[in-house]
Structures are given as structure tokens and as C-alpha cells.
Structure 1
């Protein structure tokens, strides 16, 4: 029991909301919740100024593709604005099935289910399958949505060092019981830009009959044949039980997906509370994602441009001596390592018309305070020149 003189003074929830130090700090420095006044591709308008968007996950630049926009418009006229219900009851439509069948085939899986948010999909990918008494092997740097699914599952959790197959092997060896096991990793870690070594992870748990979940929100459209993702990149699709992710990145929509065997997807539809009780995605969301998936396969030049831009941007940062945390992907952090200097660096970029995202502890490990950036196929050579100048200015001003 906590000693009285160490215990915080009891407050009401209203007082807690009014006096929260973290909220006051956020409102004082205002690094988040910026409302763009206009956007055209990778150009945004903020506070009356045109800026380069360097923090979007629109990796292939399809959110302004004419075919994708037209698909959303057509779906609105044909189906209205919303199915106004959950899939289990009145909310299922033909366009949901079309998207799910195409996504499943693209990802090399038997079945798929789409949710109204990627957070729901990835949360469900753990919470629907893991139960009390199971053991979860978890990369310590996984996304919040996966941690929330883990918490709801009430299963036992064993963390292993980020992207470290040897540590996973040691953790797995120390958990030899006959209870069900589940491995949870990301394909691409968005904060770090690291690619998960999936073959090595699978080898580390070989012999344990370990169910596995890969959150590939940032791998879809970026890695693999035609953008099929991290599992395809490594040729291990048949060995991955669940591939989950978001429709709001390369697929230029909103929502999320869970793909796997037909048995696993039907099990989730029976037992996953997030699947049972959340409203279905809208007609326009589904149509946009379906069309973006088709464009992704028929127009490979977008992915080619994405990687061309990624290589150039990485070279810019390297030439300035900036720390990119070993990123291997279009999600590239600029690690500053100190909260105040990271904030100053972010402000300097904003001053030069480049919009990024400030990420500081506890969102990142201590000493890894960083500027979160992401490259798009939509970035032009002129914009990359502007980004280079802004990075040089921010380094001089803040570091």
C-alpha cells in the first residue's frame, strides 16, 4: 500500500482534466493538432503559408490520383454516405466483399476483413486471438494499437529487444510451456524506419507452433512484388498467420484490414468485439482503397518514384551528418536526442515551410527525441531542394 505522504492528492476527474501538466505543455508549445487550410498533393497550406508536407504516409501519392478520387465520388452517388451499421447486422455491402476479396488475393491470403480504422484492425489482430493463459512474444517497439490488443487479451507478455532475433530466441527458450504462443511484430516500424527480419523471427520460434501477427501498415505498397508488403519481400507469406494494416497510407483511404486463413478471419468475426460492434467502413472509403489497390498494381512508376525520392532524401540527411536511426524505408526519422533541441529543430523546419512531426519521450525511448518524416512519390525535385535547404537551416539553428 502506498504511504500517505507519497500519494497524490485525490482529485475529481474534472480537476484532473483542468490541471493536467502534459496537456498544458502541449497547448503551450502547440506542436500537434495543426489544421491544414488546404492541400494539393504534397503541398499544404498552414497558417496562410504554402508548405511542403514531409510527414504524410501517402507513400505512393495516390490520395490525389484522378482515378482514386473519381471512385470515391461514384461510390457516394451509388451507395450514399454510410452503411449506418455494423457488419454483423445491417452494415455489410457488396463493396466490402469486393475490397476484402481483392486484398486477400493481393496479400496471398484466403480471407480478409476491413474495419473503419487501422487501429481497430491491428488491435483486433491480437485481442481476437490471444486469451488468458497464452504467451505473447512481443517486439518492445510495436505500435500502440498492438499494445492495446495485448492489454485486452489478458495474455502473458514476454518482450524482446527491438528487431533482435537472438533475444527473441532466448525469450522463447525461457517459455517452454505447452500453452499457445503468439508472436507480434511490425513489418516496417514507422518511428524508426526499420524492416523486421521476418525469416529470422520465424526461425527463432520454430518448433513452438507459434501463431504470428505482422502489422504491415507501413510495408503495404512499399515492399514486395507490386507492393505486397514485408512478408512478400522476404518470401514468407505462407508462414505468416495474420497480416494486418491500414488503408490510410499507400491505399489513400481510411480504415484497416486483417488478412489470414479463412478459419482465422471467421473466428475473428465471431469473437472479436472490435469487429462485431464497430460500424462498417463507408462506400467512399472502400471504393478509394479498392481503386488505389488496382492503381498500385497497374502503375508501378509510383513506387519507383517513391524509392528514388527516398534515396535522394536519405543522401541529403547523410550529407548533413544527421542521424536517421538506420532507417531502411521511406519512413525516416531525424534523431536529435534532446527534447528542447528537437522542438527547436521542428520549429526551424516549419519556419522554412517544411511540415514534420515532433516525437519526444515517452513516445520514443529516452535520448531518441526525433523529427518524424516520411517521403512520398509525390515529392518533386523542387520540393526536395527546399527540404535540403530547410534541414541545413534547422541544423545550424537548433543543433
Structure 2
């Protein structure tokens, strides 16, 4: 196992070695990280629902009623009425005929892609899609073709050249997790229809955040009846764990029979399902939470740009601060943490080389006082390192 030592040394040399940082508090606007109180600006808990009293209480009640674990896969002993209740409510929320739960977003993407594509098929994937999509495509044994990020012209070129493939599956993130930009879904839908291709959207970072009702990026564009496969997670704005897929009854039945990560995984524990149910209802009932999120996101993005940071102008609760150099990125992340702001540096292989960044995310439950205090730290750290 000497190669492990060599590989770790090489990661150190390239300034790419990564370590976990312990949280001693919840996913709150202010939490404790490695013993230090920090303003949390890196969580996907966009609506702050992990700490919502109703979410926590419903999770507790689910444990009291159903126990701590599911005890088996959904196809054996793990199919609780609670799972079916959540699936029904997700389908209604997404204006879809059906839904099925998975253990995580990663597991969902692996299962869906491997079930829908195989030898002789073509998977056509955005260059910046999530790692779970990339891995699912590789494992499917289909021919994988990558189009330039958000470039629908390049996508059409690939579609035109792939007519001989048995089936074609276009896959995109709805909201790209490291950049915060949106997939051009209207143009993609038109291309999918023109070339008779399936279209799958990973709405992990859109669910609860985008759309008139918070139903996600597909609702944002008004394309509810145009996307064959919608996947999303329960672990971000919905404050729990797990994932879902929505689509036709035939798609849902097919995935239950063909998606290996569904068939061979223990079902979600009752507490997670209960928490997700409560969060889903809150999203639909308390629209003001989403308005607060967008107010905070727009405020923080505008102020960071005013300070002189290199930030794209599109709107999303994900705010990437582009630095480029790996070492300087990590020095800035450390300076921020020393100043009481937790916003980690993101380096390759998570992002392409030369695009290292600080990935800032904001929550609905941040106050303007939180954000203003964080901005003081960003100003001081950026000037000390000659970044702004």
C-alpha cells in the first residue's frame, strides 16, 4: 500500500489535499466549526428548514411511530406507508403522475441513468454536470458525449451526429452546484423534441428555491409537462436526506424494477421521511421564507461585487467567488474562517483547473446583520491577500 503515501504526498504538493472540518453546532446562520463560532456561508440548507420546529417535531413523531430504521429495501420489508405518502405529495408538488424515493441524490442519478441507457445508446451530458451524473453515465456503458457548458449549439451538433444510437438521453443539472447558473431548459426541450431524445434534469439545487411555488427550475421555466425525467433531493432546501424522481407511472414502475440503487438499498429511515414531508408542506405554505432567501442572496452578491470580488452577475443563492489559483483560494478560505466566516475553498477535481473559488451560499434565515458582519471579514481578508 505504499502507493497511498505517494498519492497523498502528491496531493499535498499540488495543494489539493482535503480534510473534513468538524461542526459542533447545527446548520444555523451562526454555528461552531472546530471550536470557533462562525457565520455559516456554505450550507445547502437554503431555507433554514433543518432547524424549523415543525420539521424536527415531525421527524421525532415519525421515529415514535415507525422506529429508527426501515429494516430493508422498499421491495422487501422497507416499504412504509410514510414513504408512499411522501411520494404522493412530491408528485403533486411537481405536477407529475408519480414519484419514487432514493437514498441520496448520488444513488438516484446512478440508478436512473443506468436504468435508462446502456450499450448502443448515447448519453449527452453538460460539461459541468455533477459527479453523480458523470459516474452514472460511465457505469451505464452507453456512449457518453459531452457538450460545452450551457452551449445548446454544441448540443445540437452532437444530437445531429448521434442519430444511429438506439436511444439518446440528454442530462443536465437544473442549477449548477458550483457556479449557480441555470440550464437553458427551453432551448433544450426544443432540441430534445426535434431529435426525439429523452431529457433528464437534476433539480437538486432548484427544489424549494426556484419557481412560483418553489417547485424548482422546471416550474421556473413553465416546462412541467415537457421534461420526461425530473430528479431532485430532499437534502438541500428541504433540510432532510434522500432524493426523488418524478415522471409517468411507467417510468416510476420501470425504475422500481431496473434501478439497482433503488432495488438493493435499504429504504430511507422514518425520521428523514417525516422531516422531508414537513419541509415540503412548509415550502408550499410559507412562501415568505423563499422571499427572504432571494433578498439575502441579491444583497450579498451585490455587496461582494461592490467590494471588488470576481463574481458572475446571474442570480442564485449559490455565489461563486472566482480566485483561480489553488493556493490563494485556500489562503482566503483560512483567512475567512479565522475572521469568523465559514466559506470553504473549492478546488479541482470538484471544479476545472484554473477555476478554484470560494463557494458562498446564503440562507433565508441569515439576518442582514449576519451578512454585514461577514462582508467586513470578506473586505479585510480580500485586501490582506491582494485579491480585491
* TM-score scaled by length of structure 2: 0.96
Give distance in 2, aligned partners of 1:88 and 1:104: 20
Give the distance between the partners of 1:31 and 1:324, measured in 2 at CA: 24
Matched, 1:114 2:82: no
Any idea what the Cα deviations from partners look like across 1:204-227, whole Å, max 9, x if unmatched?
Answer: 333221111100000001111211
Is the contact made by 1:213 and 1:244 (CA closer than 8 Å) also made in structure 2?
yes
Give the one of 103, 126, 148 matched to 2:90. 103
Cα 1:281/1:141, change in 2 over 3 Å: same
- What is the aligned residue count? 386
1:45 aligns with 32
Are 1:309 and 1:375, in contact at CA under 8 Å, matched by a contact in 2? yes
Q: Which residue, 44, 54, 75 being the options, matches 1:57? A: 44
Corresponding residue of 1:339: 326
Confirm whether residue 391 of structure 1 aligns to residue 378 of structure 2: yes
Are positions 1:291 and 2:275 aligned together?
no
Measured on the aligned residues, the alpha-carbon RMSD in Å equals 1.7
Q: For residues 18-38 of structure 1, what are the alpha-carbon distances to aligned partners after superposition, in whole Å with 9 as ceiling and x for unaligned?
A: 332368629998753111112
Q: Does 1:275 align with 2:262?
A: yes
Partner of residue 352 from structure 1, selected from 326, 339, 345: 339
The Cα of 1:310 is off from its aligned counterpart by 0.5
Residue 44 (structure 1) shift: 1.0
Give the secondary-structure state (helix, strand or coil) at the position aligned to 1:150. Answer: helix
Q: Does 2:213 align with 1:255?
A: no
The answer to whether 1:304 aligns with 2:267 is: no
Offset at 1:170?
A: 1.6
Whether the 8 Å contact between 1:60 and 1:377 is mirrored in structure 2 is yes
Aligned to 1:212: 199
Structure 1 residues 137 and 31, CA gap change in structure 2 (3 angstroms)? closer
Matched-pair contact (CA < 8 Å) for 2:24–2:32: yes
Identify unmatched segments of 5+ residues in structure 2. Answer: none
| Aligned residue among 76, 81, 89 for 2:76 | 89
Q: Residue 241 of structure 1: which of 219, 228, 236 is its match?
A: 228
Equivalent in the alignment of 1:9: none
- Is the Cα–Cα contact under 8 Å of residues 348 and 397 in structure 1 kept in the other structure? no
- Of the three residues 377, 380, 386, the one matched with 2:367 is 380
Pick from 358, 371, 381: which aligns with 1:371? 358
Q: Which of 312, 317, 320 is the aligned partner of 2:304?
A: 317
Q: Which residue of 2 aligns with 1:203?
A: 190
Q: Tell me, in whole angstroms, the C-alpha distance in 1 between the residues paired with 2:93 and 2:111.
A: 21
What is residue 145 of structure 1 aligned with on the other side?
132
Deviations 1:179-211 (A, max 9, x none): 211100011001000011101112233322111
Instruction: Tell me which residue corresponds to 1:6.
Output: none
Following superposition, which runs of at least 4 residues in structure 1 exceed 4 angstroms of deviation? 26-31
Quote the residue 2:180 is aligned against: 193
Structure 1: 5+ residue stretches without partners: 1-13
Change (3 A) 1:145 1:247: same
Does 1:74 pair with 2:61? Answer: yes
Q: Structure 1 pair 381/185, CA: closer, same or farther in 2 (3 Å)?
A: same
Mapped to 2, the partners of 1:86 and 1:271 lie a distance apart of: 14
In structure 2, the residue matched to 1:8 is none
Deviations 1:149-188 (A, max 9, x none): 1011100111111011111112212222252111000110
Give the Cα separation in 2 of the matches to 1:202 and 1:60. Answer: 29
Match of 2:166 in 1: 179
Aligned partner of residue 244 in structure 2, secondary structure: strand
Q: 1:366: Cα distance to partner? A: 2.0
**Residue deviations 1:90-147, cap 9 Å, x none?**
1110000000000011011111111121211122221111111001111010000111
Q: Report what 1:11 is aligned to.
A: none
Residues 72 and 267, structure 2, Cα contact 8 Å, conserved in 1: yes
TM superposition score normalised by structure 1: 0.93
Q: What secondary structure is seen at the aligned counterpart in 1 of 2:43?
A: coil
2 CA distance for matches of 1:388 and 1:20?
37
